[in-house]
Structure 1
Amino acid sequence: MLKGLFANTRAKGMHYEQLAEQYLQAQGLLAVSRNYNCKYGEIDLIMREQNTLVFVEVKYRKNNRFGGAISALSQSKIQKLRRSIYHYLECNKLQNSLVRIDFIAIEGLSSDNIKWIKNIS
């Protein structure tokens, strides 16, 4: 069903990032930025919860075969994410900011199956 729904994997990724952003906004977070790219990698979502910048990695899997979306977050991905966060903070002169890294795992065709894991590192 998903095959024909999205023009390409980037469109699919943007769709699920938007779902994650809407979910987090419903939980009281404010959107700051989406898809921040630098030489170290990409940050899917940057949100704010009170005085904390929340950097969010979003993963989607159509099913839980091979461990599902939660198992898609590797240590190497977390390292790339950290480097990208440091770059973002430095470029925006936010080195003294409170920071948290969260993970959103979405599985299946329903947007009801969203798991939010706070402070993954």
Structure 2
Amino acid sequence: MRAAGDRFEQRACTELQREGLALLARNYTTRHGELDLVMRDGDTMVFVEVRYRKNASHGDAATSITASKQAKLILAAQHWLAAHPQHARHPCRFDVVSYDGPAEAIRCEWLRGAFEA
């Protein structure tokens, strides 16, 4: 499953860069969890969670980001900002890029500001 996750993270990164975002970090790991992508959108720091679900029997990819997962992402983002103080004064947002469905009919959705810190 990790290989599929890496593939979708790369795909999301490429698509977001095509939209003008700049990559700052990938797979930033803390004891609180991992940030899939840390990017900059103009003056805004963007922490991106990438999710893939082959089938929606337990909900779609975006809804798999629970309040507990959001809290871990927020803590990991705070850790990243503390380690990179030059970015700490910029506005921040949390985006989700979700991929749903089998390979031949995959749907992609980019949720800007998917949740608030």
Name the Cα RMSD after superposition.
Answer: 1.4
- State the TM-score, normalizing by the size of structure 1: 0.87
More strand by share: 2
Letter in 2 for 1:96: R
Return the alpha-carbon distance in structure 2 between the equivalents of residues 40 and 104 of structure 1. Answer: 21
State which of 17, 33, 44 in structure 2 corresponds to 1:41. Answer: 33
- Alignment TM-score, normalising by the size of structure 2: 0.90
- Partner SS for 2:58: helix
Paired position in structure 2 for 1:107: 100
Q: How does 1:14-93 map to 2 (within 5 A)?
A: 14-93=6-85
Percentage identity across paired residues of the two chains: 36
Which 5+ residue runs of structure 2 have no aligned equivalent? none
Count matched residues. 113
Of 106-115 and 11-20, the range deviating more from structure 2: 106-115
- Note the residue ranges of structure 1 that are not aligned, 5 or more in a row: 1-8
User: Deviations along 1:27-78, whole A, 9 cap, x unmatched?
Assistant: 1111111100011110000111111110001110012222121221100000
Take 2:96 and 2:16, find their aligned partners in 1: how far apart are those partners? 11
- Which runs of at least 4 in structure 1 moved beyond 4 Å after TM superposition? none
